[in-house]
Amino acid sequence: MKQNDQNFLWRRIAKKKNTGSQPVTIAPKARKGWHRRLSQADYLEMMVEYNSEAMALLVKTAAGWVYCYNNWEHEKMTGFGQKAIRNQSLKTVLGEAYYQVYEKNADGCRESGQTILFKGRACWNGEVREQLCRMAPVAAADQDFIVVTELNTKVLKDWMIKNHLATTRFDQMFQTHTATMLLIEPASGRIVDANPAALAFYGYSLEELKTMTIDQINTLSPAAVADRRHQALAGRQQYFLFPHRLKNGEIRMVDVHSSPLELDGQPYLFSVITDATEREQNAAALYREKELHKTTMDAIHDGVITTDAEGNISYLNPAAEQASGWQTGEVQSQPFEAIFSICHEYTREPLAGLVAQVLEDGQSQEITAPTVLFNKEGMMIPIETSLAPIRAQNGTISGVVMVFRDITLSREKKRRIEYLSYHDALTGLYNRRFYEQYFSQKEIKLIHPMAFVMGDVNGLKMTNDVFGHTIGDQLLTDIAKTLKVAAGSRHQVIRWGGDEFMIVMPGSDLKDAEVLVKRIKEQLQDICINGTIEASVSFGVALKKSRDDEPGAVLKKAEEMMYQIKLLESKSMRGTTINALLAALDENKAETKAHTQRLSDHVMKLAELLALNVEAKNRLILLTMLHDIGKVGIPDHILSKPGRLTEEEWEIMQTHSEIGYRIAVNVPELHVVTEEILHHHEKWDGSGYPSGLSGEKIPLNSRILAVVDAYDVMTHDQVYQPARSREEAIRELRAQAGSQFDPRLVERFINQVSHW
């Protein structure tokens, strides 16, 4: 390390060490390198030598305090050089009349170990001077030193006069300036002074403000305000934006320029305050407007591309980015036509110069021709687009905005709507609107011969009632597919109504129609839903023989023929349907043939005891066979569940009597037992279902069946319970007589089974 660098280092150390209130401690053992050759006195001398204040070094000896070293500033003040002052006593240097004050304070400094500040006098160069003196003890290993700093009070008074002049000037500026000003104590935040402009702005009197802290004006938290004060005092930040509360409660946004200031030796924060409320409100309004604009651009489904006045891309909204595949950052500042290629959809002729044209003439353009935009991947996107100039406040054109809409989905929706307007949504066949459109064409009306085939699905209502509309829809869909395949592409298959279909056969005669009907009937035999429901359709045909025949009249003849055939086929169909239902009932084991046969034997014996007539007996047998036919509409997992049904499952199970009723209503031959099927689960006390009938309001045959069915169920194994003995079953019947069962029928039946 060079000698100059050493001197600089120790000069800095000396200044720092001698400005505090604590003794300076030197630890020679911690030094390294060249320092090791220096004594403690050498360190102290270096500290004194390179200090800008008048400083000397005292050491305690047996004879008292003597000088051992001083710096150049001290030499100028006293007239004693470093060699002359070394080992000189306080009395010699200061004079007979003045040394005792120094000696007394030196002893006190040594004993207390604290820095001492006092006023003293000395006779230097024949002149008696009043000094401000500071003594700081230095704890060393072998000797006690005191660092003495001398300040000529005349110099201090001159400085104070100058400082007072500066303070006076500051005060004049502070009081007369139109800017709002506050003088604040940094540590506490107390408002020390406020100029008239501040009083007018805040609405407080000077006396009121002087009793307040800046925390009471600033609406930020006290901790946040204190942090800003410390930053300003340290010079790290001088500008702040704060919300200040006026005396009337109004909140104003203010710019605060705050700087540290020393007045009369005390540190303050000098704050100049400017009302920035209007500026901040305008900025907030502008921000909201920009955010609203951005939110709008981000939210709309149309693509938006903007350019600057040179035709270079400046912005793409999210819809434009998604449609084009480009991100704003990728294409920003690039020429519009270098990125986006727009062409006529059919001719592929480029539509060049669109942006340049708008920039040139300032007129909006709406592109009416079928147009496509090529995206980043080179794919064509059909679009509808328009361009408009962006004008600055002075009316000049600052850019162009292009708004476009990807019409791929809208075209698809349009095609879908057009399809649905001419097709049946369930089956996909043509609908009545297509028929009307088809025959509105003159060339179609002139075609002859033209055969019409009308078909009506048999038993659709019963299928919907029993198995639900989902199964009914499946039946219609399967029939529609069969008709479509059988008719081929030459003929038009139309869903005419709920269960009606029509086939228009241009260029075909009645023989062709009959062949088609036969083929359809053969193919319909392959349809069997759930292994139970077969497809049956009644057909009628008619012929348009000449161009003069009206299609409506021919269609009516086909309908009339269809209804005639339907009447002939209906009886057979009803029988087939009932047999299918009974087969389904037996298959899901809700009822077995053995159970039905036992019920038939029991009810006929009881009917004999009751002396019922033949008609009543026949109804009773029919009821015995069909009373639970409605269970074909109950899910298998409920019918076969071994445990107790849940409340929801029980509610579903109870619907079987109503389902059976709806089935019977649709079959004329079963009308005689519809009410008895509906009420066969009613109870004598009215707590049954579905209608809650009681007593003799319940049909007699329903009451008879209830007793007999309960006995047979109890005495045979079920999925939910094992069989009981005959005696147990009889006891249960007697227990429920008068509540669940007709008591007279219970006694008659028990008398009957007791003799078996």
Predicted pLDDT at 62: 85
For the cut 60, the answer to whether the pLDDT of residue 12 exceeds it is no
Task: For residues 690 and 675, give the distance between their C-alpha atoms in angstroms, rounded to a whole number.
Answer: 11
Confidence of residue 37 (pLDDT cuts 50, 70, 90): very low
Averaged pLDDT of the chain: 84
Which pLDDT band holds residue 402 (cuts at 50, 70, 90)? very high
Helix (H, G, I), strand (E, B) or coil at 214: helix
**Alpha-carbon distances of 443 from 435, 436, 512, 607, rounded to whole Å:** 14, 14, 22, 72
What is the per-residue pLDDT for 39? Answer: 56
With beta carbons less than 8 A apart as the criterion, state whether 399 and 358 touch: no
Same domain, 593 and 734: yes
The reported pLDDT for the residue numbered 572 is 54
pLDDT, mean of residues 453-463: 88
CA 744 to chain centre: 70
Is 295's pLDDT higher than 80? no
User: Span 633-637, mean pLDDT?
Assistant: 85
Same domain, 113 and 191: no
**Are the beta carbons of 422 and 430 closer than 8 angstroms?**
yes
- Asked if residue 455 and residue 393 are part of one domain, the reply reads no
* Distance (Å, whole) CA 375 – CA 208: 70
DSSP tag of 95: -
**What are the residue ranges of helices labelled H in 590-698?**
593-610, 614-626, 636-639, 647-653, 656-665, 674-678
Is residue 416 included in any domain, yes or no?
no
Please indicate, yes or no, whether residues 307 and 236 belong to a single structural domain of this protein.
Answer: no
Nearest Cα to 119, choosing from 153, 146, 145?
Answer: 153
Mean pLDDT value across residues 503-526: 92
Same domain, yes or no: 228 and 139: no
Q: Quick one: average pLDDT of 584-598?
A: 64
290 domain-assigned: no
Mean local confidence (pLDDT), 174-185: 85
**Distance separating alpha carbons of residues 380 and 372, to the nearest angstrom:** 6
* Distance (Å, whole) CA 620 – CA 605: 11
The pLDDT confidence band at residue 630, using thresholds 50, 70 and 90, is confident
Domain boundary among 411, 444, 469: 411
Adjacent-strand bridge partners of 70: 56
CB-based contacts of 75: which residues, under 8 Å, 6+ apart? 81, 82, 85
H-type helices in 455-613, by residue range? 460-467, 469-487, 510-524, 551-587, 593-610
Contact 197, 272 (CB under 8 A): no
Q: How confident is the model at residue 582 (pLDDT cuts 50, 70, 90)?
A: low
Q: Using a CB cutoff of 8 Å and minimum separation of 24, what contacts does 749-753 make?
A: 749/602, 749/606, 749/707, 749/708, 749/711, 751/609, 752/602, 752/605, 752/606, 752/609, 753/711, 753/726
Region of poorest pLDDT, from 291-305, 426-440, 442-456: 291-305
- Mean pLDDT, residues 17-46: 45
pLDDT-above-90 percentage for the chain: 42
Task: Give CA–CA dist 680/694, Å, rounded.
Answer: 12
Per-residue pLDDT band for 574 (boundaries 50, 70, 90) equals low
25 pLDDT tier (thresholds 50, 70, 90): very low
Domain containing 215 equals 177-280
Residues across the chain: 756
Alpha-carbon Rg for the chain, nearest whole angstrom, is 57
- What is the per-residue pLDDT for 354? 92
Q: Report yes or no on 684 lying in a domain.
A: yes
Q: Give the pLDDT confidence score for residue 79 in this predicted structure.
A: 87
Per-residue buried b or exposed e for 343-353, using 16+ beta carbons within 10 Å of the residue's own CB: beeeeeeebee
What average pLDDT score do residues 133-148 get? 81
Residue 330's CB is within 10 A of a number of other CB atoms, namely 13
* Candidate from 473-487, 544-558, 579-593, 594-608 with smallest mean pLDDT: 579-593
Q: Which of 192-206, 473-487, 596-610, 677-691 has the lowest mean pLDDT?
A: 596-610
The region of weakest confidence among 315-324, 480-489, 578-587 is 578-587
Predicted confidence at residue 34, as pLDDT, reads: 32
Both 615 and 724 in a single domain?
yes
End residue of a domain, out of 218, 247, 280: 280
- Among the residue ranges 39-43, 280-284, 667-671, the one predicted with the least confidence is 39-43
Overall domain count for the chain: 5
- 3-state SS class at 539: strand
For 708-731, the pLDDT digits (tens) are 999 988 988 877 788 888 899 899
Categorize the per-residue pLDDT at 530 as very low, low, confident or very high, splitting at 50, 70 and 90. Answer: confident
Check: CB of residue 219 under 8 Å from CB of residue 244. Answer: yes
Angle between helix axes 700-714 and 743-754 (nearest 10 degrees) is: 50
What whole-number distance in Å separates Cα of residue 701 and Cα of residue 682?
12
Assign 143 to helix, strand or coil. Answer: coil
Query: Which range is least confidently modeled, 42-51, 301-310, 439-448?
Result: 42-51
**For residues 25-37, average pLDDT:** 36
Q: Residue 16: what pLDDT? A: 37
Contact status, residue 524 vs residue 419, Cβ threshold 8 Å: no
Report which of residues 19 and 363 the model is more confident about: 363
b/e map of 436-475 (b: 16 or more CB within 10 Å)? eebeeeeeebeeebbbbbbbbbbbbebbbbbbeeebbebb
Show the CA angle centred on residue 652, arms to residues 649 and 656, nearest 5°.
Answer: 135
The pLDDT of 382-409, averaged and rounded, is 90
Asked if residue 636 and residue 683 are part of one domain, the reply reads yes
Question: Where does residue 515 rank: exposed (0-12), middle (13-18), buried (19+ CB within 10 A)?
Answer: exposed
Inside any domain, residue 471? yes
The answer, yes or no, to whether residue 21 has pLDDT greater than 50, is no
Residues 533, 459: Cα–Cα separation, whole Å: 10
* pLDDT category of residue 156 using cuts at 50, 70 and 90: low
Give the per-residue pLDDT at 631: 85
Last residue of one domain, picked from the residues 363, 382, 411: 411
Tell me what pLDDT residue 153 has. 63
Q: How far apart, in whole angstroms, are the C-alpha atoms of residue 571 and residue 578?
A: 11
Q: Are strands 380-391 and 365-374 parallel, antiparallel or unpaired?
A: antiparallel
Q: Does residue 314 share a domain with residue 273?
A: no
User: Does 580 map to a domain?
Assistant: no
- Helical pair 700-714 and 614-626, crossing angle rounded to 10 deg: 50
Three-class SS of residue 273? strand
618 Cβ contact partners less than 8 Å away, ≥ 6 residues apart: none
CATH of the domain at 628: 1.10.3210.10
Helices 469-487/510-524 angle, 10° precision: 140
Q: Are residues 383 and 254 in the same domain?
A: no
In a domain? residue 167:
no
pLDDT at 217 over 50: yes
CATH code of 225's domain: 3.30.450.20
**Residue range 141-148: mean pLDDT, rounded:** 80
Label residue 372 by pLDDT band (50, 70, 90): very high
**Cα dihedral 644, 648, 649, 653 in deg (nearest 10):** 120
Check whether residue 598 and residue 687 sit in a common domain.
Answer: yes
- Give the confidence band of 9 by pLDDT, cuts at 50, 70, 90: very low
Other CB atoms within 10 Å distance of the CB of residue 13:
16
Query: What average pLDDT does range 48-53 have in this prediction?
Result: 74
Q: How far apart are the first and last CA of the chain?
A: 132
Under DSSP, is residue 169 helix (H, G, I), strand (E, B) or coil? Answer: helix
Q: Which of 299, 303, 312 is closest to 371 using CA atoms? A: 303
In this prediction, residue 167 has a pLDDT band, given cuts at 50, 70 and 90, of: low
| 705, pLDDT greater than 60 | yes
**Are residues 680 and 732 both part of a single domain?**
yes
Closest CA to 495 of 429, 419, 566, 426: 429
CA–CA gap between residue 259 and residue 238 (Å, rounded): 6
Using CA atoms, how far apart are residues 300 and 288, in angstroms rounded to an integer? 18
Q: Is residue 78 part of a domain?
A: yes
Q: Based on the domain organization, do 75 and 185 belong to the same domain?
A: no
Q: Assess if residue 47 is contained within a domain.
A: yes
Q: Is the pLDDT of residue 298 over 90?
A: no
**Does the pLDDT value for residue 155 go beyond 80?**
no
Cα–Cα distance between 692 and 684 in angstroms, integer? Answer: 9
